[in-house]
Structure 1
Amino acid sequence: MPVPTMTLDLERTALVVIDPQIDFMSPKGAAWSAVGEAVTEQRLVPNLLRLFESSKKAGIVVAISPHYYYPHDHQWKFQAPVELFQHKIKIFDRPSALSLDGFRGSGADFMPEFKPYIEDGKTIVASPHKLYSPQTNDLTFQLRKQGVTKIVLAGMLANLCVESHLREFAEQGFEVAVVRDAVAAPKLPEGDGNLSALINFRYIANALWTTDEVVARLAKPTAR
């Protein structure tokens, strides 16, 4: 397959991180038994820290696409396998859409390492996506309002939320680079989520970079 050439323009670029939350990225999280191996192998948390730090230093837009479940979400009348799993383990649960009671330190909260970057008063925290894509939250709207046309994409789950965000952004006309070592997915008997995602990233994304490559490009945004 051809390799596209994507450059970064700091005025139009955003780092988008999906689900940087305790339930996905911490050994204390509800989903660790399914995702912990990949999170560890990928060095996901250290790599995301480098992406946050370099993005803030470069002054680009940083946006979070979180995942929260409220009590009414557990009343859905039908669900697919991953939905059933997530509701069963009570991942990302919050007691109310209108309250932060019990949020701090819960599985729905952000990883402590990331909070200095997320809670700086500048980072966009979008409304929650409920399945996988940003079609059900305000992330695309928020990026458009910032004049963003290029996205550096990272987070979880590689084969579900990350891939779904990638597909929607591509359909919406954004240029998207996926950070291949800053994503992770479940490794289950049904298949390796990371491997399946990487195959599709290669077909769909405008670029497939490592964390090292992104950091270098943010320092020299015109570098290919």
Structure 2
Amino acid sequence: LNNKMFHREHQYQETVKGSGADFVEELKPYLDENTIITSPHKIFGPESNDLALQLRKNGIDTVILAGMNANLCVDSHLRELVESGFHVHVAADATGAPGQEAYDAAITNFGFVADRTMSTAKVLEEL
């Protein structure tokens, strides 16, 4: 595992300093005080943070996942959230992987577990 991918100077820093990482512009209007961003980042599953608790406290039963490592973080969170009873959708074009082969494998697996795998445009259309 290349831990540089997850390195942050401070556990509550939402992006990797100097990386240019930011939220997708089209999604920024939907980020508000009701948006849940868990921290610190964990490689696997919401049981290592309070994501499931925060979702349930806010009456949320549907999650849209995206991320920079489809076949590790996104896949792990997808499986754990589904097992915890949430409806989970994956924004496929807002999800990356270390190479096309890994990405294709992850997208295939998402099809077996996620409620839906769709494009960011489709997510925005349905919000």
Q: Tell me the equivalent position of 2:22.
A: 111
1:46-104 per-position Cα deviation (integer Å, ceiling 9, x unaligned): xxxxxxxxxxxxxxxxxxxxxxxxxxxxxxxxxxxx1xx21xx474221x55x87xx88
Q: Shift in Å at residue 173 of structure 1?
A: 0.5
Selected match of 1:196 from 105, 108, 112:
105
Contact 2:15 2:22 in 1 (8 A): no
Give the secondary structure class of the aligned counterpart of 2:121: helix
- Work out the CA distance in 1 between the residues paired with 2:126 and 2:49: 29
Tell me the residue number matched to 1:123. 35
2: CA distance between counterparts of 1:152 and 1:90? 22
Which residue pairs with 2:96 in the alignment?
Answer: 184
Of all paired residues, the percent bearing the same amino acid is 38
Which residue of the other structure, out of 50, 73, 83, is the alignment partner of 1:161?
73
> Shift of the alpha carbon at 1:212?
2.3
Shift in alpha-carbon separation, 1:119–1:92, aligned structure 2, 3 A: farther
Unaligned runs of 5+ in 2: none
RMSD: 3.1
Equivalent pair of 2:69/2:98 in contact (CA under 8 Å):
yes
* 8 Å Cα contact 1:163/1:197 also seen in 2: yes
Q: What does residue 213 of structure 1 align with?
A: 122
TM-score by length of 2: 0.79
Q: Is the 8 A contact 1:93 1:108 kept in 2?
A: no
> Contact 1:92–1:108 (CA<8 Å) still a contact in 2?
no
| Match of residue 170, structure 1, among 71, 82, 101 | 82
Q: Distance in 2 between matches of 1:111 and 1:184?
A: 14
2:52 corresponds, among 140, 159, 176, to 140
AA aligned to 2:66 is: A
Higher relative contact order (CA 8 A, sep 6+): 1
Partners of 1:167 and 1:123 in 2: how far apart? 21
Shift in Å, 1:209: 1.3
Structure 1: gaps (5+ residues):
1-81, 219-224
- Is contact 1:170–1:176 with CA below 8 Å preserved after alignment? yes
* Greater Rg over alpha carbons, structure: 1
